[in-house]
Amino acid sequence: NGFPLWLGDRDYALWTICFIGIWQSFGFNMVLYLAGLTSVPRDLYHAAEMDGASSAWERFRLITWPMLGPTTVFVVTITVIRSFQVFDTVEAIFPDSGGPGKTAYVMMFAIYEKGIKQNLLGTGAAITVIFLMFVIVVTLIQRWFIDRKTHYA
């Protein structure tokens, strides 16, 4: 009973790392969305009002969100890649173990532990190549989404 041990409990350690990552990336993602919002032409809002989109929700749903499509694809791609690059948080909080029962043992920590700490350079390099393949696949998916012809109706 009482307050949970966020970092000492197997059930909470990875969720705590996830929360820290969300908190770290939230501000950066909001800056990206603000930059995307500046690229939405104001004329579209005036045209939408003339066409009958009277509420703010309709203008958001019909104009703002579709125009933020490329920004959303970029934000999702960067966030997915960054989520697999979690090393600094795990190393700072669990420097020797990767969490209680290795529950926060993420890919970047495995590369560091195998390649640097245990001097298993081949294993560390193999994990790095797997990570590189993952980043390439995610980047190609992002390019496919961005290169699609988008029709804003």
**Residue 19 pLDDT level (bands cut at 50, 70, 90):** very high
Q: How many domains, the chain?
A: 1
pLDDT of residue 103: 86
Once rounded to an integer, what is the mean pLDDT over residues 48-52? Answer: 89
Q: Is residue 2 part of a domain?
A: no
pTM: 0.74
**Is residue 116 a contact partner of residue 135, using CB atoms and an 8 Å limit?**
no
Q: Is residue 129 part of a domain?
A: yes
- CATH number where 134 lies: 1.10.3720.10
Q: Is residue 5 part of a domain?
A: no
**Residue 152 pLDDT level (bands cut at 50, 70, 90):** low
Q: Is residue 45 part of a domain?
A: yes
Q: Is residue 1 part of a domain?
A: no
pLDDT of residue 115: 94
Ranking 19-28, 62-71, 90-99, 106-115 by mean pLDDT, the lowest is 90-99
Q: Read out DSSP for 109-137?
A: HHHHIIIIIS--HHHHHHHHHHHHHHHHH
Once rounded to an integer, what is the mean pLDDT over residues 127-139? Answer: 92
Domain that holds residue 56: 10-147
Mean of all residue pLDDT scores within the chain: 88
